[in-house]
Amino acid sequence: MRRGIAATALVASIALAATACGGSDSSDDKSAGPTTITWWDTSNATNEAPTYKALAKEFEKANPTIKVKYVNVPFDQAQNKFDTAAGASGAPDVLRSEVGWTPAFAKKGYFLPLDGTAALADQAKFQPNLIEQAKYDGKTYGVPFVTDTLALVYNKALFEKAGIKEAPKTWGDLKTAAATIKKKTGVDGYWGSTQAYYAQSFLYGEGTNTVDATAKKITVNSPEAKKAFGTWQGLFSGKGLHKADTTADAYAHIQDAFVNGKVAAIIQGPWEITNFYKGSAFTDKANLGIATVPAGSTGKAGAPTGGHNLSVYAGSDKAHQEASLKFVNFMTSAKSQSTIALKNSTLPTRDDAYTAEVKADPGIAGYQGVLPAAQPRPALPEYGSLWGPLDTELPKIAGGRESVQWGQSTPEVASATVDPDF
């Protein structure tokens, strides 16, 4: 899982602190040579990092007075590592930050406001809703780097074999389609995730969320939320519906089954596009179907907006900040984003990066088409942590060990998510 779970990590190692910002390192003084900035990249070390390393080298070649110290940090450790390093004034100069981390780090003063800086010189080119995602308390603390959302991804060949001509529009349609696919092909039609991030779409489909930011109220115990989780739970049992996998390797199991044609549809994000194509079911890329997530009883469909920004550490000295701002502008340029999209099959955040060549990738084109259903996250420092207790409780419910009626069998969910300062 790559979205929204870093806040649940139990251990915050500070092993990477020594590789961080050169602001206090006299060896990086301009009189001693090029300014060296440290960049913590949180992308997949195998599939994505090589592209970012190559672009960093390209930046150095174009800017000989600046050196980039590249460090790849595992995504599920990065939030806590940066929090620890920044609190000790030893954070990297630039962080590839998940969009949900912005409010908390901005509130603590760890991120530099970027309004009016070189980093945001091309602000008008970015999709406005993604700029809003990078804001906290009226200021912008990151430049959108890559974006994503969830979609219903499906195996077109299996759907066609079952006589299903279009992607399901509602969760009820999906349930019906799964049964038909099982009957006609022998393959399960749908395999759902028990992780809280993937359950967000069910909440949006009932017109709710885990929290009402305006009312400052946790809504996970609301009638709408209970209905959403009831629908979610119902997709783990029935003909053509794969039972819940509550093991630690569930994500890998679901992904492997889908890419190899052992299940016809799952809910997934564009960070897996390159891995889809590696599976036996999608050697022909055109077999990958991508549709907006099904709608709930409100008739509306929604999926969480994810992605990453590039943010600059506020604790760096002026020379390092100026170099970092220039680096961020380069990495988020249309040319760089187009390169990243072509190499990594990720979604650009600016319209001018969606070139004809980029959109020739059916995965990118498909996910670009579902972006209108993406729902912004509330600008709350506490918001990401609300998924933690759900990540603990939802597998129990999916496995039949607890009831979806939180107030009866799992009162700790509501109490665990309430922040006294919220």
Mean pLDDT of 153-157: 98
Average pLDDT, the chain: 88
pLDDT tens digits, one per residue of 166-192: 999 999 999 999 999 999 999 999 999
Q: Is the pLDDT of residue 3 over 80?
A: no
pLDDT of res. 411: 38
Contact 302, 279 (CB under 8 A): no
The confidence band for 47, taking pLDDT boundaries of 50, 70 and 90, is: confident
Amino acid code (one letter) for 97: S
Q: Over 90: is that where the pLDDT of 384 sits?
A: no
Share of residues in the chain with pLDDT > 70 (%): 88
Give the model's pLDDT for residue 221. Answer: 87
Average pLDDT over residues 82-87: 95
On the question of pLDDT at 151 being above 50, the answer is yes
Please name the residue that has the structure tokens 């997949």: 44
Rounded mean pLDDT of 385-401?
87
Task: Please determine, for residue 20, whether its predicted confidence score (pLDDT) is greater than 70.
Answer: no
Residue 406 reports pLDDT greater than 80:
no
Question: Residue 163 has what pLDDT?
Answer: 98
Has residue 421 got a pLDDT over 80?
no
Q: Where in the chain is the domain with CATH 3.40.190.10?
A: 6-148+306-375, 151-304+380-417
What's the one-letter identity of residue 314? Answer: A
Distance in angstroms (rounded) separating the CA atoms of residues 293 and 43: 25
The residue-averaged pLDDT of 95-99 equals 96
The pLDDT of residue 397 is above 70: yes
User: Is 76 or 93 the better-scoring residue by pLDDT?
Assistant: 93
CA 34 to centroid of chain Cα atoms? 34
CA–CA separation, 16 vs 92, rounded Å? 9
Confidence of residue 126 (pLDDT cuts 50, 70, 90): very high
Among the residue ranges 37-41, 227-231, 293-297, 399-403, the one predicted with the least confidence is: 399-403
Q: Of residues 378 and 355, which shows the higher confidence score?
A: 355
Confidence (pLDDT) at 185: 98
Compare 422 and 109 and report the one with higher pLDDT: 109
Tokens 């499906």 label which residue?
Answer: 154
Region of poorest pLDDT, from 14-23, 142-151, 220-229, 276-285: 14-23
Between 33 and 322, the more confident residue is 322
> pLDDT tens across 226-244, in order?
999 999 999 999 999 999 9
- Which has the closest alpha carbon to 102: 194, 6, 169? 6
Question: Is the model's pLDDT at 49 over the cut of 70?
Answer: yes
**Could you tell me whether strands 35-41 and 94-98 are parallel, antiparallel, or unpaired per DSSP bridges?**
parallel
193 Cβ contact partners less than 8 Å away, ≥ 6 residues apart: 199, 250, 251, 254, 266, 267
What is the pairing mode between strands 374-375 and 303-312?
parallel
pLDDT at position 32, please?
61
Fold of 6-148+306-375: D-Maltodextrin-Binding Protein; domain 2 (3.40.190)
Q: Which CATH architecture has domain 151-304+380-417?
A: 3-Layer(aba) Sandwich (3.40)
Are 162 and 180 spatial neighbours (Cβ–Cβ below 8 Å)? yes
Amino acid 1: pLDDT: 39
pLDDT confidence of residue 122: 96
CA distance 146 to 130: 10
Distance from C-alpha of 282 to C-alpha of 301, rounded to nearest angstrom? 26
Whether 335 shows a pLDDT value over 90: the answer reads yes
How much is the average pLDDT of 13-31? 39
What is the rounded distance in angstroms from the CA atom of residue 169 to the CA atom of residue 106? 38
CA distance 225 to 405: 10
The band of 367, judged by pLDDT with boundaries at 50, 70 and 90, is very high
Band (91; pLDDT cuts 50, 70, 90): very high
Q: Which residue has the higher pLDDT, 409 or 130?
A: 130
For 291, residues 6+ apart whose C-beta sits below 8 A from its C-beta are 151, 152, 153, 154, 167, 168, 366, 370
Mean predicted confidence (pLDDT) in 40-54: 95
Largest Cα–Cα distance in the chain? 73
Look at residue 23 in the predicted model and tell me its pLDDT.
Answer: 42
DSSP 371: G
